[in-house]
Amino acid sequence: MRDAIAAARRETPAVALVTTKFSPQGDFVARSAGMPDIPRVILPHPVAGTGEKAMKMVADDIVDEVLQALGAAG
Amino acid sequence: MSQRLSALSEEAALEQLHAAGCTDGLPVVIPTPARVERMVLASGLDADVSLGQLGPNLGEATVEKAAIASVMAGCLPDYFPAVVAAVRAVSDPRMDMTEVQATTHNLGPLLIVNGPAVDACGIASGFGALGPGHRANASIGRAVRLAMINIGGGRPGTSDMALLGHPGKFTFCLGEDEEASPWPPLHTSLGYDIDQSTVTVACTEGPHSVLCFPDDDPEVYAEHLLNVLAASLSGLGANNTHFARGTQVLVLNPDHAIALADVGHDRTTIAEALHERAKRSWSELSTVRARGSGINRHQRSQGEDPDLVVPALSSPDALLILVAGGTGLYSAVMPSWGAGPHGNGHLTVEVDLDQSCEIPLVMPVQ
């Protein structure tokens, strides 16, 4: 979330990826960092440690949403 | 100036603070303006002086806000200089408090106090120093936690994402038993004079007990002790073992410290010996973790070589060694997280004991 906000502050289109369990925390960080509307895409939880195959499936599922969010951000 | 709440009684104020998520779940002392002002005076600093920003909320940790946390925690004004130093430490960007609060790992700031402040504040360093019954230890550590909650915004499940947490996240503070130690105090190894007071902060797991029986042969006793400490510092479930990063803390009980001193060890040689011994082979590590997970710099440079040996301490300096607790069979290690942008290291801040303004015995009613 902070990385996306840092990129957005440099006028680089950015989207934050956050899993369902961390979504409230992401909202908190976005508010704290002063950019509550930073574009974000919600991933299933967990992603870390689930293996390359599972991560590719997640990536396939969200790619359109990420592009859409980046378009909106740009 | 902090926001003020109104209530008809202290009981009602306490319920307001609980409902607002401003407590640690236990009753707090209500931070009335008069109590907070007494605390601020004990620092000799202006109320609006900033001690840093506390993540993840990036709240401004002013002296006044630290004083509010200290009143709530039950501190005496005499303790406040130690709290100020500790809040400076946890607000320092090098401590990565945003990430420390946000991680799913169970860690919290351990406060180690050295120098004249230990006696000046009455901080326990002997039997049960990390347990209940010691007002200074309990309230100084609790004040830092309340600052992390109310200034840093760390609340379970939304901004403090520790999966389980640990009891040291209520309070986690002790002094070094400098009298019982066979070596100069910890802070003199960290660049401070013996007459200075310091708080050294390392964010760690809770204490893990390490058992070692004496042996008639001093060399054998010391060897056994180093071996069991090394094994405990490189547990297969500990992050440090897998990531090869992060400060770990070793609390030697006075008997164990003397056993090592008797064969010529000091803090430096113990750290070097444990850095050398606290290692796991790649073949051991691969029995407990998924392939490709927890990649550390050793693995990156050398690949998944079964003969590769990975140290749990990145260097001897990644181990803080202090003497505390009662005499007996048990010492303790505190493993850590080993992650975050700065790698979960430690930081020492001087306690400024001599700046206290005269504190009126009775403050005017406000």
pLDDT tens digits, one per residue of A27-54: 988 998 899 999 999 999 888 778 888 8
Rounded to an integer, the average pLDDT of A1-14 is 92
Instruction: Give the per-residue pLDDT at B307.
Output: 77
Q: What is the pLDDT of residue A51?
A: 82
SS3 B111: strand
| pLDDT on residue B282 | 84
Residues of chain B with pLDDT under 50: 364-366
* DSSP structural state of residue A22: G
- B287-328 pLDDT, tens digit per residue, is 887 665 555 555 555 566 777 888 999 999 999 999 999 999
Judge contact between A27 and A36, C-beta under 8 A.
yes
**Bond from prior residue into B207 cis (ω within 30 degrees of 0):** no
**Paired residues of B189 in beta bridges:** none
Judging contacts by C-beta atoms under 8 Å, the chain A residues touching residue B98 are 2, 29
Query: What integer pLDDT is reported at residue B291 of this predicted model?
Result: 60
- Residues of B at the A interface (Cβ-Cβ below 8 Å)? 56-58, 98, 102, 153, 157-159, 161, 290, 292-293
Chain A residue set in contact with B, beta carbons under 8 Å? 2, 22, 24-25, 28-29, 32-33, 49, 51-52
Give A51's contacts in chain B (Cβ within 8 Å): 290
Q: Do B159 and A49 touch (CB under 8 A)?
A: no
Residue B294 region, left (φ>0) first, then alpha (ψ -120 to 50), else beta? Answer: left
- At residue B283, the pLDDT reads 84
Is residue B171 classed as helix, strand or coil in its secondary structure? coil
Residues in chain A: 74
Residue pairs spanning A and B at CB distance below 8 A: 27
Between CA B276 and CA B255 the distance in angstroms is: 23
For B151, nearest residue in chain A (alpha carbons): A32
Q: Where are the alpha helices (DSSP H) in B122-262?
A: 135-150, 186-189, 218-233, 239-243, 254-262
CA distance B244 to B233: 11
Determine the pLDDT at residue B306.
73
**Nearest CA distance, A52 vs chain B (angstrom):** 10
Structure confidence at residue B2 (pLDDT): 84
Query: Comparing C-alpha atoms, which of B259, B366, B242, B255 is closest to residue B314?
Result: B242
Could you check whether the bond before residue A46 is cis, i.e. omega within 30 degrees of 0?
yes
- Whether residues B161 and A22 touch (CB distance < 8 A) is answered with yes
Q: Which of B142, B151, B131, B124 is nearest to B64 (CA)?
A: B151
**Can you give the pLDDT at residue B365?**
47
* B interface test, pick of A21, A29, A47, A50 with most B CB neighbours within 10 Å: A29
